[in-house]
Chains A and B, each alone.
Chain A
Amino acid sequence: MDIFLQQIVNGLTIGSLYALVALGYTMVYGVMKLINFAHGDLVALSAFAGLTIYTSIFADGGTSIVAVITVFMFTAAVIAVVGVLLERLAYRPLRTAPRLSAVVSALGAGLVIQNAIMLIWGPNMKIFPSHLFPSDIYHFGGIVITFTQLMILIFSSVLMIALYLFINKTKMGTAIRAVAIDQDAAKLMGINVNKIIMIIFIIGSGLGAVAGLFIGIYYRGITFDMGWMYGLNAFVAAIIGGIGNIPGAMFGGLILGLFNALISGYISSAWAETFTFMLLIVVLIFRPTGILGEKVAEKV
């Protein structure tokens, strides 16, 4: 039973990270109907950029709450700028082009980011310093939670609740939802669609950046090509939850994280992705638009 609960805790931790990345996918998909294949590589870029920012600002290796907050803010800002540039250069020129042309452009952008990371930071694994967060460990009954895990759970929940309120309670959020439903009608109502899309890329990339930093701090080892697998898992999570749907992405991320942890704990981690995609296929057979996705009638 303790092992089971421990896997639940681990699963929720990974699941929160998937959820943060999945939010970036689902927001872009909801508005542009585009799988942003470069998003996973942005997450990887964030881990590397964060590491460099940390070592260059705090060369003495000192750790404080100020240092950690600075690194997070700085990295999120850098990645948000990259995300906006990505949209400007690779996606905006293709907004009226056939759907698959934009997919190829996104795949190309992913390749560019991934190989830029390799050229800048080299092909070998980089290691995150272990003292960014205190190494405290908390015991609850038989289960163990590290300080990092606790921070991931708390911080990602806060971000997700904030995003949910932003989308549903503010004027800007209403504009985002309007653009997601019908771009042309939104434009006629005086909404600046380009600005909304820019905001979506800022938020999505910022959340991805936070996830990337947490991945670095939690797993410590980071490689230039790790973005692809995290991205794919997160995208699967977004589909399982119902793509285009923000609570769906959070829900899907947590479900997939739990599922992954239980499969790795009880069956084998070598087959993790196989089970992930089997889960995806089973979900799609019974719910073609994901668990929380609405059934949309096809317009002819």
Chain B
Amino acid sequence: MAEERREKEKDIVRKRKENAVVVSQEELAEGIFSMWIHTEAALSAAPGQFISIYTSDDSRLLPRPISICEMNRKEGNLRVVYRVTGKHTGTEQFSRLRKGDTVPVIGPLGNGFPLEKAQGKKVFLIGGGIGVPPLLELAKQIVCEKKQIVVGYRDKHTFLKEEFEKNGTLYISTEDGSVGTMGNVLDAVRENALEADIIYACGPTPMLRAVKAYAEEKDIVCYVSMEERMACGIGACLGCVCKTVEKDQHSNVHNRRICKDGPVFLAAEVEL
């Protein structure tokens, strides 16, 4: 057994931390940045996966897990849209990167949205806040009968609006009512009398909780992309677990790793 494995080791193409090259950087809305990078990760990435991005400052050791917003396989480019979380943060440092700069990344990581489940169905793509960006590549790739994109923002500082409009029917909610429906994403669903057979959602936990409850009430399948503080990003450290309804096979307890087993889960299988 050991011999066999050792032989195999010679042929393994290992994953690695790679220096991606920044292609472009722009601020889409206040504190929300869009960065295209040239990276090997673009070649195999799927909607809903994420990449770990490292700062160039060795006193900040941990990678920042950021969901993939869009990719261009032909050019080997990948786009992340992220929020700068404050002064002196890793994300602030990323926002200062310019075309030609390098940035260390690992990816793609995690499991994305199951696209095949949408075939022939009426679909909701529901996103809230900084959970909106990963829905863009999903909207571009998903094949379904009816593509209804429902996204919620805090106020009039929306982002990616025009790009979503090109890839489905867009409904917007804002907390202050400045754009679209006043309230949350489910208020927008109700106001527009929308219906769906399957939901794909990404956003803050309170939103996911409400979407899960809505899906249960309507008895429809719902996938959620979850978020948690991560350390390794590859499933080793057990930092980013979520609670599961059933005992998980890997952990042997009611926990699953968001980075490795997720970040996309069937809503019915996780506690929110």
Task: Determine if chain A interacts with chain B.
Answer: no
Q: Which residues of B line the A interface, CB within 8 A?
A: none
